[in-house]
Amino acid sequence: DVGAGTGLYMKALSRSVGESGKVFAVDISPNFVKHLRDRSKTEGLSNVEVVLCSDRNANLPKNSVDRIFICDVYHHFEYPALTMQSLHDALRQDGKLILVDFHRAPKESDEQRRSWLSGHIRAPQETFKQEIIDAGFHFDQEVTIDGFQENYLLQFTKSK
């Protein structure tokens, strides 16, 4: 979980991988990292390892993960090429990357919300998709999810 923040998905991911699996909860904020460590300890999530990343590197071991989940934070990546290269290195061959992010100007939102998103999101979906492809990922599909109005979900596989 890259950009894990407050740990919204931490418990669900921990349960999903089970006791024999491992979840890396990665964040750039030392305060969020402390919160994630405290929360994982309090909730008994022994299969969660919290990682402090930098703006250029996710700080994950090479070939250590099967799935990468990036939800609503990719647009914050200051050095997307470097960050994505570090994630490519961490992902095992044929591993999956799931990206959820905001449309820059969603049709379903009101004008004020569209204006805010347009100023907040650094680039449109196609740019993000191409940045990830350029980092060595193969685009698999865009997944349609009922209820997604401002977001999209893209799935990629690590290329050889």
> Burial, 113: exposed, middle or buried (Cβ in 10 Å; 0-12, 13-18, 19+)?
middle
Asked whether residue 1 is assigned to any structural domain, the reply reads no
Q: What is the pTM of this model?
A: 0.91
Does residue 52 fall inside a structural domain? yes
Tens-digit pLDDT profile for residues 92-121: 999 999 999 988 765 666 777 667 677 777
Distance CA 51, CA 118 (A): 30
In a domain, 50, yes or no: yes
What pLDDT is stored for residue 108 in this prediction?
64
Task: Check which CATH number belongs to the domain holding 85 and give it.
Answer: 3.40.50.150
Residue 109 is predicted with a pLDDT of 64
In a domain, 27, yes or no: yes
Per-residue model confidence (pLDDT) at position 106 = 59
